[in-house]
Amino acid sequence: MCGIAGGFGAIFTPSSVDSVLSDRVLFRRGPDETIVKVFDRGFFVMVRLAINGGALQATPFLDESSQRSCIFNGEIYNYKDLARTFGVALDPSASDGQLILPLYDRIGDRLFDLIDGPFAIAIYEQSSRRLILARDRFGEKPLYVYRRHNELYFSSELSVFRTMGLAQKADRDSIVDFLSFLWVPEPKTQYEGVLSMDPGSVLEFDGQHLKKTWYIRETSFDEADSKSMEFNFDESSIHVRDLIARSVRLRNDTSSSCGAFLSGGLDSSIV
């Protein structure tokens, strides 16, 4: 896993970067590389565990032509398929995350719906001075946000907000939730003012206005749809086997050794 953090706003001070860099909880997520980028109105920090590709030369993913920068936590299992489909030329040693900016330049937010895999993505557009955050549809990768006046901060770890001096009070309702359910239902967190970003959503922030949209498409099925999707047992078995085989194959397509924790139940025995 990797970790990302950053901030954007009119009252940004460089000391915020130093605070993030002092947070050891965030750094346990990425022992291989630390990436820092400071903008005129914000900053990005990324700690990286290298699963695909080599070192990124201490810079975030950067597109000079569009003046966009990107940091990323997650894995894009189908990044090679997407690169072929949309004609994006990638270096053979490229990380999966290096597909994000050229593909975003071509298809915009549609990119997030096409990604197969868990992710938390932050993109900064220098030309429009706009911050874009996106989280995978199932919420596998954490992404927390905190807004203060005309500033927006984000992180993979809650502890970062405390080291930046932003989240100093516990959320009492969340404490009650935890004692009742043994977890805190999203979007609340244990810190007052810090929220978990909704799975399948995109946040856009220009320093004044915060806009939330959903990239996941609504689907509905009626009786006619269900009849057209009927399978017999043999066809269904083949279809499920093909889907599982493809899923396992994509997850094994890395430049690092692959391991798995399997419980020995029915689903993991199939894998």
pLDDT at position 57: 46
CA distance 27 to 143: 15
DSSP 8-state code for residue 156? S
Those residues with Cβ within 8 angstroms of residue 83's Cβ, 6 or more apart along the chain or in another chain: 89, 90, 99, 103
CA distance 68 to 128: 10
Mean pLDDT by 10 residues, the chain (271 residues): 86 73 78 81 84 54 78 91 90 80 92 94 91 95 94 93 88 94 93 95 94 81 60 82 85 70 75 72
Residue 14: left (phi > 0), alpha (psi -120 to 50), or beta? Answer: alpha
pLDDT at position 214: 92
pLDDT at position 58: 43
Helices and strands in the chain, H and E counts: 10, 12
Positive or negative CA dihedral for 19, 20, 22, 23? positive
DSSP 8-state code for residue 117? S
Tokens of 192: 């007052």
The DSSP bridge pattern shows strands 201-205 and 42-48 to be unpaired
pLDDT at position 225: 58
Nearest alpha carbon to residue 43 among 72, 74, 69: 69
CA distance 130 to 208: 10
3-state secondary structure at position 71: strand
pLDDT at position 185: 93
pLDDT at position 39: 85
pLDDT at position 268: 74
| Angle at alpha carbon of residue 208, lines to 197 and 6, rounded to 5° | 50
Using the structure block, give the residue that is written with the tokens 């093909």: 242
Radius of gyration of the chain (CA): 20
Tokens of 101: 């900016």
**Hey, what's the torsion of the CAs at 173, 178, 183, 187, to 10 degrees?**
10
